[in-house]
Structure 1
């Protein structure tokens, strides 16, 4: 819910929780003001600012059966519940995180009884599972964690991240007040100083640097995003010039990553830039995507959709697809134009669930370059593209990103995509569809697999 304090991304260990898992957990914990318990099983991955735990599965502890009166503390998970959960963590190679709640809202910490119970039980649980174990304590607006790492260390959890309608970050206590930079004064009047600081600590990837991607890079730089990852394997063509922001005729033949990086640095000399002149499915590009806080997909290939979708689901990184469709018949008749701003939210229905990836096209696009066109029955024809329609789609996408980062959306659960139809001046919201057996966006599939998922295997391959 909007109105929570904005917490910029922190360094150190974090836990990311998909929105639906968070809804189920918070509904259980904060049902009636009493203490309740659960276990979260989580994958693991490296992040831009430190190691990340990725919540994959929630095991609710039933009152009076799994969550019972403690021998020392007030309440505790039953031995049978703990045994079953830790065995599952070992078998699935997942972190075991015992969860309970405390009263209050804005800050939280473990009691002495909590910490003593960790010291009695977690060394043995870590030995049984061979994985990280730990405890989490929540209020509706705060979270603290005590992690016992598989390598033997014990560390605090820096934050819990929920990539929902707002990019919610829960900490033991709110972040310290930010120091305002006069450069961002007009933006900070909307976002607040903490909201502007949150942008400055974000690592955002843009996949595809054509007409849509170049506008994204321009605006993200001027908004003050701290780090941009620019992914595109193509060079500038003369027909790109009317739509590439700040491109010049001398840029024809230059890598699009080079032109985009130059433009970003011109717009914001302080932005940190990583250029990846590769196709998105190549290991260098995928590696950089897995280390991002947000991904903008501005490449309209099925391979790009598939691999960005895989990163979103396996690494719990939110993304936005930004695209424009201008149908033209062979006779030159213009059909119903539409722009699409699709949110790709971890665990909330993916590209595969919504029939947005064609298996045949994906197979063709994954072939080596010299084989790609030979495999098609019809050679590819460039699609129409004009700057104002690209700008319309980008404006919708970046407005959502900006408000989510600054915690300004009115509804955390509003994850619908936006379709504009400019010729009829219509605007529609579309909720994502999810298949229960999806191999990507459900706990039965790859959700939260992190370093044990398909993307990680591809990145690690020679």
Structure 2
């Protein structure tokens, strides 16, 4: 438990290139504040780089320091926008880092006054290539260390002041720990993961996540089981018809892992009860088809900096019943890296329809009452791709940290393609200039 700082990948790339490229460079992060799964979270939404010689100058007490005018301007911006002020610099080293005595003395001289000016959290972050430490000063006068700095990129970076202690051996998961390591298995046990949509794909996701040993699952779906669902819902039975899908998912998760902690929400994702839990997760799996679910999960990713994976299967049919090009899609949705709106995966008209009551949604459909094809083997293909990426990401086993591409399978041709996400230049959701999105929790409600 403790404070954490999450930095979107593109901001992290600029920050690390600037401060880790030279010990004589500094910067300031402006960050929102939110509750997280293990304590308060700072959400970096803007980076202000300090130019050497102008904004980062020889210090009165130490080697270098941020210029007073640079600090003043950044703190006033933090105050005006209701954001935390975090000064950043680098030290030499690899996987251990800490503040020097000169650093700490400068914090004690300056941060109480900066906190009075801004009325927000103020603090400092010091980095090496593989470690980070933070010193936070809260508006109520308390002082806190930063437990970890998180970067949701291809490999989910979790930087601490020193390497984490080795995980305890887990005999139940011994075979997979031989790949993931004891520490990797412990990482899974500490994660809080949401699954939105518990139908054909979501049912498989829950089963796999529970068996992998993920410690906490948030299950979100407002629908009940119908007879035609049974061929695609894991471990479902005739007697389950009419029961909530959340009940089946919870039953299967407990059967797979008796120690898993579950939060069941039999509501649509846009309901306050759902959103409150969704934004307090480490990862979100989106397995619901509707545009409303896509919109609200996209908002959670961008405003609260929670990475997500959108998983889907498309089986196109012509009016004559001919089968088109089947494809499954596993899309990584990262904060600040091209959102579902940028990639035209949310339709404004369908979103407007999807936000109406159920009877109005049904009446507004172009072809009422015609369900889309769905086959468990295709669902399994999409779910396995999504969970494999998640597991390798959280334990740091991807070869390329910067690989954020979606995976498209076309089973009829046995073809597999990668699609890089597109980002609109001034997207209001996933850019720092956006009015609604990136790290905006605190200034704009979800």
Same fold, TM-score > 0.5, yes or no = yes
Contact 1:206 1:217 in 2 (8 A): yes
Contact 1:158 1:171 in 2 (8 A): yes
Measure the CA separation in 2 of the matches of 1:388 and 1:151: 55
Point out the more displaced range, 356-365 or 372-381.
Answer: 372-381
Count of aligned pairs between the two proteins: 444
Q: Deviations over 1:394-415 (max 9, x none)?
A: 1110110010011000111000
**Residue number in structure 1 paired with 2:15:** 25
**Residue number in structure 1 paired with 2:4:** 14
**Residue number in structure 1 paired with 2:361:** 372
Measure the CA separation in 2 of the matches of 1:150 and 1:345: 31
Aligned with 1:349: secondary structure?
A: coil
**Residue number in structure 2 paired with 1:117:** 106
Asked if residue 387 in structure 1 is aligned to residue 366 in structure 2, the reply is no
Contact 2:44 2:439 in 1 (8 A): yes
**Residue number in structure 2 paired with 1:458:** none
**Residue number in structure 1 paired with 2:215:** 226
Measure the CA separation in 1 of the matches of 2:62 and 2:212: 49
Contact 2:213 2:257 in 1 (8 A): yes
- One of 159, 172, 178 as aligned partner of 1:170: 159
Instruction: Give the C-alpha shift of residue 35 in structure 1.
Output: 3.0
Which has the bigger relative contact order, CA under 8 A and spacing at least 6?
1
Query: Matches of residues 3-152 of structure 1 in structure 2 within 5 Å?
Result: 11-32=1-22, 34-152=23-141
Contact 2:24 2:52 in 1 (8 A): no
Instruction: Give the C-alpha shift of residue 388 in structure 1.
Output: 0.6
- One of 284, 309, 315 as aligned partner of 2:273: 284
- One of 397, 403, 411 as aligned partner of 2:400: 411
- One of 223, 230, 236 as aligned partner of 1:247: 236
Aligned with 1:109: secondary structure?
A: coil
Aligned with 1:432: secondary structure?
A: coil
Contact 1:35 1:102 in 2 (8 A): no
Query: Matches of residues 307-322 of structure 1 in structure 2 within 5 Å?
Result: 307-322=296-311
Measure the CA separation in 1 of the matches of 2:444 and 2:250: 31
**Residue number in structure 2 paired with 1:188:** 177
Measure the CA separation in 1 of the matches of 2:369 and 2:220: 22
**Residue number in structure 2 paired with 1:454:** 445
TM-score (norm 2): 0.98
Contact 2:214 2:260 in 1 (8 A): yes
Give the 3 Å change call, closer, same or farther, for CA 380–350 of structure 1 in structure 2. Answer: farther
Instruction: Give the C-alpha shift of residue 380 in structure 1.
Output: 4.8
Aligned with 1:411: secondary structure?
A: coil
Q: Is there any run of 5+ residues in structure 1 with no aligned partner, and where?
A: 1-10, 456-462
**Residue number in structure 2 paired with 1:8:** none
**Residue number in structure 2 paired with 1:326:** 315
Aligned with 2:93: secondary structure?
A: coil
Contact 1:322 1:397 in 2 (8 A): yes
**Residue number in structure 1 paired with 2:187:** 198
Instruction: Give the C-alpha shift of residue 152 in structure 1.
Output: 2.0
After TM superposition, the runs of 4+ consecutive aligned structure 1 residues lying more than 6 A away are: none
Measure the CA separation in 2 of the matches of 1:441 and 1:327: 30
Aligned with 1:125: secondary structure?
A: helix
Q: Is there any run of 5+ residues in structure 2 with no aligned partner, and where?
A: none
CA-based RMSD: 0.9
